[in-house]
Every structure is written in structure tokens, then in C-alpha cells.
Amino acid sequence: MKTILLLGVGRSTHTLIKYLVNYANTANIKIVFADQCLNDFIQPYLEHSQTEFIKFDINNDSLRRLHISQSDIVISMMPPRFHLLVAKDCIRFRKNLITASYVSQEIRELHESAKNANIIILNEIGLDPGIDHVSAMDVIDRLKEKGARITVFKSFCGGLIAPESDNNPWNYKFTWNPRNVILAGKSGAVYLKNNNIKEFTYNQVFSNLEKVIVPKYGEFESYANRDSLHYKKKYNLTSATTIVRGTLRKVGFSNAWNVFVQLGMTSEDATQKIISKEKFDNYVQALNNPEITQKMNYIDFFNPQHKELSFTSPSDYLMQVLQQKWSLEDSDKDMIVMQHKFEYYLNNQYKNLTLSMVVKGDDSIQTGMAKTVGLPVFFACKLLLDDKITLKGVRIPIYKEIYKPILAQLAEEGVTFVKS
């Protein structure tokens, strides 16, 4: 009996767990869930004979190595800072590893060691990164096979609130890790536009926006996301003069969020004080923007009740305040939106192609985010169990032997892109 070890059981793992357990019931597989505490939603799955929960401390070397050594495939849904510990143990015990996180430099440096251990460390196989890779590479490879010269590639993604659950002035709620939302854009942004490198600091990110139209859902805005330049090499877009990756929000969100950025309210500095109400009000009033004023009034940042909050920094305080306003109601549905835009020349003719994906959740537990993060991880795991992936080393899903079957299986689950 093969064993899958799942490290980390949180909000984004609901769908992954459901599919793993269902698969275990039809195959000779054992699923071991490992986390610091037993979440209530895990309990029903533990009724199955082929599932087990272990209380797990990632920093306990002997415990971590014991369970990794007893597994066939390790899935790490832990915070990215812990992946290196897990990856080194997977190399030591020759166990394949799957994560949904970006490849860090430290993980990248394990490539040769992983190859020598005859394992794959497959990263970036969630939503973004993940579905963005597999869907984009499928189009890029098909266009190139036809002889196309791709000149423009733009990719946008956002975890949003579905229109039927959108009931606040920000048109936004937390559908994934709130801390990641608070700290978004911290590293600035770099992209390629008309062969010119555009670079923005954190203080500039949310004031440089692009309009994005999604069929049936209207207009969104996008702010540039991290460093888009390395996608020229990663996706082999040698002829591209524009390469942009961005995060989607409903129109008006970014201008209001920029207030928090400019006033230092997203700072992680533990020594920095919370801004005064007077300074905050003066800044917002000077903007003379009724929509921003409405959004800030809704947040009610200086409500006296917030004095009871225990926080470590301005960003921590902001996160706790926003969690009171942006948390999902039980029946709320989130909505994942992804869009790719291509411009290319084929047979000396200019052409363009837009592909859009929209996935809604069922409720606040079975979310679209959990589905679009969890399904690619599950399908990758199944491919490894079936020995369908021959690649070794540190990889991301930009290879046909990975992205083709994963795209096909996503389509069977209703996760598809529509051309426009």
C-alpha cells in the first residue's frame, strides 16, 4: 500500500483532501494528514480505514523524517518557509514532493540533488502559480507548433467574491490567506511593455492599473504582480515584446487600497505606531474621492472597539480590522477569475486570442480557491502514483507530460477556459 503524506491542513486544502480520500477508497492507498491541530472538517474523513491524522511539528526533525521516510509521495501545503526542510528530507529518503508554492532560490539549488536521488520536486502546481502555467504553456506550445510568432503575453488572476455574495463597498472579501492579501505588492513589480522594462516600487504598484474585461462579468482592474521578466525565458517567449502578469480586483479597489500603502498601514515594522485618526482623515478628505471615502467609512478603522485588539505591527492591526469586515459568511461564494491574452503573427497576419476562466465556490468552505488550488495538486499526485511523470529534479508544470493530462482532468471537473 502506497502512502501519501499531506503536510498542512488549512483553508485551501478542502478540495484536495476530499479528492485524495475518494481516490484512496478506490485504490490501495493510505492518506496521512499532518498538522499541529486537528481541524473539525477533517474528522469525517478519518472514519475511512485508509486515512490517519498525526499531530505534527514541522520543526521536530526526528518526527518529520520518520513520517517522510514512511511515505511514497509528500504534499507540502505548509507555509513556503518550511518547504526547504521538507525538500531536503525528501531528497534524503528519495521521496517525490509536490508543493503549490513558488520555487525559492534555496529550493532551486536542490535541482541536481533531486535528480541524483531520482525524485521530482514539483512546485507551482496550484492556482497561481499552477493553472496559469499549464493553461498558458498549452496555448504557447500549440501556437509555436503552427509557426506563430508571439509578441504579447498578458496573464491576470484574482481570488474575488462572486457577484451574488458581493455586499460591501470594496467588492471584496478574504477568500484565502488574509496576510498574503495585506502584504501583496511588497516586492514591487517589473514587466515588459513594448520592449521597455517597466519597474514600479511598492508605493507605485496600486496606482498603475490595467483594465481587464471578462465576458459575462464585466470590467476588472489589474495591478502588476512581482517580476514578469523571467517568464520570457520560463515560457520561451523569445519574440515577445510585452509580458505582463497581474492580480485582478474589482474596479476601484486598488485606489482605495493605495491609501493604506501610502500611509504605512501595511508596514510590518513592530516599532511603527498606528497612524492617528486626524492624519488618516485629512489624507482621505484631500483625495476628494467619494468612492474611497465610502470604502474607508465601511472599514471603520478607528472604531473604539479595536483598542482591544492585540497586534504586532500596523499590518497586523489592519489585517485584524479587515477580518471583521471581509470574512466570508457561511453561504458566501468566492470566485476565481483568470485570463490570458495573446497577440501573435501567423502567416504574416496579426491575430489575438483571449482565454478566460471563472470558477465559483459552493460556499465558504468548499471554495473556488480550494478547488483551483487543490485539484492540480491532486492530479499531479495521481500522475506520480501512476508513474506518468518521468521528469526528475526541481520542476514546475510547464512540460507537456505534466500540463496536458492535468488540463484534461481539470476540464472534466469543469475548470475550463473560454475563448473570446
Q: Last residue of a domain, which of 311, 336, 360?
A: 360
226 lies in the same domain as 314: yes
- Domain-located, residue 367: no
Q: Are 123 and 101 in contact (CB under 8 A)?
A: yes
Nearest to 173 by CA among 151, 158, 186, 183: 158
pLDDT at residue number 12 = 81
pLDDT in tens, 351-400: 999 999 999 999 998 999 999 999 999 999 999 999 999 999 999 999 99
Asked if the structure places residue 314 within a domain, the reply is yes
Asked if residue 193 and residue 105 are part of one domain, the reply reads no
Instruction: Extract the C-alpha cell encoding 385.
Output: 502514483
pLDDT of residue 69: 97
Q: Which of 415, 366, 406 is nearest to 382 (CA)?
A: 406
Whether the Cβ atoms of residue 410 and residue 416 lie closer than 8 Å to each other: yes
Note whether residue 415 is domain-resident: no
For residue 188, the model assigns a pLDDT of 96
Q: Which amino acid is at 95?
A: K
The whole-angstrom separation of Cα 309 and Cα 409 is 45
Residues 314 and 294 occupy one common structural domain: yes
- Count of domains in the chain? 2
- Among 75, 97, 123, the domain-final residue is 123
Domain boundary among 123, 149, 181: 123
pLDDT of residue 339: 99
**Looking at the structure, do residues 193 and 320 belong to the same domain, yes or no?**
yes
Distance between CA 361 and CA 51 in Å, rounded? Answer: 26
Q: What is the pLDDT of residues 244-300, one digit of tens each?
A: 999 999 999 999 999 999 999 999 999 999 999 999 999 999 999 999 999 999 999
Angstrom distance (rounded) from CA 377 to CA 98: 7
pLDDT number for residue 25: 85
Residue 263 · residue 275 · CB < 8 Å: yes
CA–CA gap between residue 132 and residue 213 (Å, rounded): 18
Q: Which of 166, 257, 171, 154 is nearest to 210 (CA)?
A: 154
Considering the entire predicted model, what is its pTM?
0.94
Amino acid residing at 9:
V
Q: Do 77 and 381 touch, CB atoms closer than 8 A? A: no
CATH code of residue 35: 3.40.50.720
Which element (helix H / strand E) includes 143? helix 131-145
Whether residue 404 lies inside any domain: the answer is: no
Q: Are 381 and 20 in contact (CB under 8 A)?
A: yes
Q: 141 and 6 share a domain?
A: no
Shared domain for 192 and 307, answered yes or no, is yes
Q: Crossing angle for the helix pair 131-145 and 368-385, nearest 10 degrees?
A: 70
pLDDT tens by residue, the chain, 420 residues: 899 999 999 878 999 999 999 999 888 899 999 999 887 788 888 888 899 999 999 999 999 999 999 999 999 999 999 999 999 999 999 999 999 999 999 999 999 999 999 999 999 999 999 999 999 999 999 999 999 999 999 999 999 999 999 999 999 999 888 999 999 999 999 999 999 999 999 999 999 999 999 999 999 999 999 999 999 999 999 999 999 999 999 999 999 999 999 999 999 999 999 999 999 999 999 999 999 999 999 999 999 998 888 899 999 999 999 999 999 999 999 999 999 999 999 999 999 999 999 999 999 989 999 999 999 999 999 999 999 999 999 999 999 999 999 999 999 999 999 998
Judge whether 282 lies within some domain: yes
Q: What is the mean pLDDT of the chain?
A: 96
User: 188 lies in which domain range?
Assistant: 131-360
- Minimal CA–CA distance to 30: which of 61, 13, 54, 12? 54
Quick one: 91 and 159 in the same domain? Answer: no
CB 140 within 8 A of CB 237: yes
Kindly list the distances between the CA atom of residue 135 and the CA atoms of 153, 178, 311, 343, 409, in Å, as whole numbers in the listed order: 13, 26, 40, 16, 12
Euclidean distance between CA atoms 378 and 397, whole angstroms: 13
> Domain of 231: which CATH number?
3.30.360.10
Instruction: Examine residue 44 and state whether it is found in any structural domain, yes or no.
Output: yes
In 3-state terms, the chain is what percent helix, strand and coil (to 5)? 40, 25, 35
| Cβ atoms of residues 77 and 7 within 8 Å | yes
- My answer on whether 209 and 114 are in the same domain is no
Residue 119 lies in a domain: yes
Alpha-carbon dihedral of residues 93, 95, 101, 106, nearest 10 degrees? Answer: 40
**Rounded-to-integer distance, Cα 262 and Cα 185, Å:** 13
CA dist 99 and 125 (Å) reads 7
Q: Tell whether 206 and 312 lie within a shared domain.
A: yes
Give yes or no: residues 255 and 137 share one domain.
yes
| CA contacts within 13 A on the Cβ side of 418 | 10
pLDDT in the model for residue 46: 87
Alpha-carbon span 62 to 59, nearest angstrom: 9
- pLDDT of amino acid 49: 85
> Which amino acid would we find at residue 35?
D
Query: Same structural domain for residues 118 and 193?
Result: no
DSSP string of 76-143?
E-S-GGGHHHHHHHHHHHT-EEEESSPPPHHHHTTHHHHHHTT-EEE---BTTTBHHHHHHHHHHHHH
* 95, 181: one domain: no
In a domain, 385, yes or no: no
